[in-house]
C-alpha cells in the first residue's frame, strides 16, 4: 500500500451515509478502495498489483468494476486489515470507533501502571489491535491474541507482522480455555450486542448482549497474576435506570484482594438499536471501561 495512506474507520451508519452519496458511488483513490470500500475501475491500481490482489482473493469483480474484500484502517502509526463493509458475514472482523476507544483504555493503563508486564493476553482479539499495542509498548512481554474466529487470527497474524511485533502469538481459543497460567495484563473488547443472527463479531449473549462481558470478567479475575490487571472495554445496556453489565460484574470485582474502577467513556452508542425488538425496553447503551487489579502478593 502507498506510503502516507491513512483512514479512520467510522460507525457503520456513518459509513453507509457517506457511500450512498452520488459522488461516492465509485472509488477515486486508495482511501476510497481500501477504506470506504467503494467499487473501483482497473486504472486505479497498477496492473501487476491488481493481478496479485485478484490471485489472493483480496479483490473480486463487482458490477463491472472491482471491489476489495478487506479494509485497511489507521491506528496511531499502524495499519490494520479487517473485514469489508458491510460486516454481515458470521466471521467478519470488526474495526471501528470501539477499537479506538479500546486502544485509548489500554494506552492509559500502560501509562499509569507500574506493574511489570511479562505475560499479557487479548481475549477475542479480532484484528489484534489490543495485543499489538501491548506488544509494542512492552517488547519483553509475551502477548497472546486469542479468538474463536479463524479469520480474526489470520488478520491478527498479518497485522502483527506489519507492526513488527514478534512477541505476539495468535491462538484459537474460547476466551481463556486454550491458554495456561496467570497473566500480568488481560484486555478484552468483546462483542456486546444481542444479535438475533448470533454473529460472532457482534453477539454478546443474553441480558442485551452483556452476558459475554460478565463471563470474561469471571474468567479473567481467576487468571490474574498478583498485581495484574484486567482492562475490559465493552457496552453497558441500561434498562429502567439499571446498568445490566455492572449489575452482574460488580459482585465479581468487589471481592477481597481486588480493587476496581469503572467509567463511561461514551454515554450513548449504537442508538439505532433502540428501534429493534431486542432493545425495546433499553434506555441507552453506554461504552464503558472496567479495570480490575489483583493485589500484589
Cβ neighbours for 213, distance < 8 A, ≥ 6 positions apart: 188, 190, 192, 204, 232, 234, 235, 245, 249
- The enclosing domain of 169 has a CATH number of 3.40.50.150
Q: What is the mean pLDDT of residues 264-292?
A: 97
Q: Are residues 111 and 21 in the same domain?
A: no
Check residue 201 and give its pLDDT.
84
Identify whether 141 is part of a domain: yes
Q: Is 101 helix (H, G, I), strand (E, B) or coil?
A: helix
Q: Is the pLDDT of residue 250 over 90?
A: yes
Percent share of the chain, pLDDT over 90: 95
Same domain? For 200 and 108 the reply is yes
Does 1 fall in a domain?
no
* Per-residue pLDDT, 284: 98
Q: Is the pLDDT of residue 67 over 90?
A: yes
pLDDT recorded at residue 192: 97
Whether the CB-CB separation of 91 and 120 falls below 8 Å is answered with no
Same-domain check for residues 256 and 143: yes
pLDDT digits (tens, 9 = 90+) for 172-189: 999 999 999 999 999 999
Q: What is the pLDDT of residues 5-23, one digit of tens each?
A: 999 999 999 999 999 999 9
- Domain end among 68, 83, 110: 68
Mean pLDDT of 51-76: 96
**pLDDT at position 1 over 60:** no
Q: Is 174 in the same domain as 29?
A: no
pLDDT in tens, 30-48: 999 999 999 999 999 999 9
The residue from 68, 87, 114 where one domain ends is 68
pLDDT confidence band for 2 (50 / 70 / 90)? low
Same domain, residue pair 108 and 225:
yes
- Across the range 203-215, mean pLDDT stands at 96
**Mean pLDDT of the chain, nearest integer:** 96
Does residue 258 share a domain with residue 116? yes
Asked if 188 and 256 sit in the same domain, the reply is yes
pLDDT value at residue 297: 74
Q: Are residues 101 and 34 in the same domain?
A: no
Taking residues 84-95, report their average pLDDT: 93
Q: Which domain holds residue 234?
A: 97-294
In a domain, 250, yes or no: yes
Write down which residue in 53, 68, 83 finishes a domain.
68
Residue 80 lies in a domain: no
121 domain residue, yes or no: yes
Calpha distance 225→109 (Å, rounded):
16
On whether both 154 and 282 belong to a single domain, the answer is: yes
Peptide bond into 225 cis (omega under 30): no
- Total count of domains within the chain: 2
Confirm whether 158 is domain-assigned.
Answer: yes
Q: Tell me, what's the pLDDT at 89?
A: 87
Give the three-class secondary structure for 161. Answer: helix
Give me the helix-helix angle, 129-137 and 97-112, nearest 10°.
30
User: Is 84 a member of any domain?
Assistant: no
Q: Look at residues 165, 115, 160 and name the one whose alpha carbon lies nearest to residue 137.
A: 165
Amino acid at each position: 500500500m502507498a506510503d502516507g495512506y491513512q483512514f479512520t474507520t467510522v460507525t457503520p451508519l456513518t459509513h453507509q451515509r457517506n457511500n450512498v452519496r452520488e459522488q461516492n458511488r465509485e472509488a477515486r483513490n486508495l482511501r476510497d478502495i481500501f477504506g470506504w470500500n467503494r467499487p473501483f475501475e482497473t486504472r486505479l491500481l497498477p496492473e501487476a498489483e491488481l493481478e496479485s490482489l485478484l490471485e489472493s482473493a483480496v479483490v473480486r469483480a463487482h458490477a463491472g468494476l472491482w471491489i476489495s474484500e478487506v479494509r485497511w484502517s489507521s491506528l496511531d502509526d499502524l495499519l490494520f486489515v479487517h473485514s469489508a463493509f458491510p460486516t454481515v458475514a458470521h466471521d467478519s472482523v470488526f474495526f471501528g470507533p470501539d477499537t479506538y476507544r479500546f486502544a485509548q483504555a489500554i494506552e492509559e493503563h500502560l501509562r499509569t501502571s507500574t506493574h511489570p508486564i511479562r505475560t499479557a493476553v487479548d481475549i477475542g482479539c479480532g484484528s489484534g489491535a489490543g495485543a499489538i499495542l501491548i506488544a509494542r509498548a512492552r517488547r519483553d512481554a509475551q502477548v497472546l491474541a486469542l479468538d474463536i474466529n479463524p479469520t480474526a487470527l489470520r488478520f491478527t497474524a498479518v497485522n502483527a507482522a506489519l507492526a513488527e511485533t514478534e512477541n505476539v502469538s495468535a491462538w484459537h481459543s474460547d476466551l481463556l480455555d486454550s491458554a495456561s497460567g496467570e497473566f500480568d495484563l488481560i484486555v478484552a473488547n468483546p462483542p456486546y450486542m444481542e444479535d438475533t443472527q448470533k454473529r460472532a463479531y457482534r453477539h454478546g449473549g443474553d441480558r442485551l448482549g452483556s452476558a459475554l462481558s460478565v463471563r470474561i470478567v469471571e474468567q479473567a479475575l481467576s487468571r490474574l497474576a498478583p498485581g495484574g490487571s484486567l482492562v475490559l472495554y465493552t457496552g453497558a445496556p441500561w434498562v429502567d435506570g439499571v446498568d445490566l453489565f455492572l449489575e452482574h460484574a460488580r459482585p465479581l470485582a468487589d471481592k477481597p484482594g481486588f480493587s476496581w474502577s469503572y467509567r463511561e467513556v461514551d454515554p450513548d452508542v449504537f442508538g439505532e438499536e433502540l428501534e429493534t425488538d431486542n432493545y425495546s425496553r433499553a434506555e441507552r447503551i453506554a461504552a464503558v471501561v472496567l479495570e480490575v487489579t489483583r493485589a500484589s502478593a
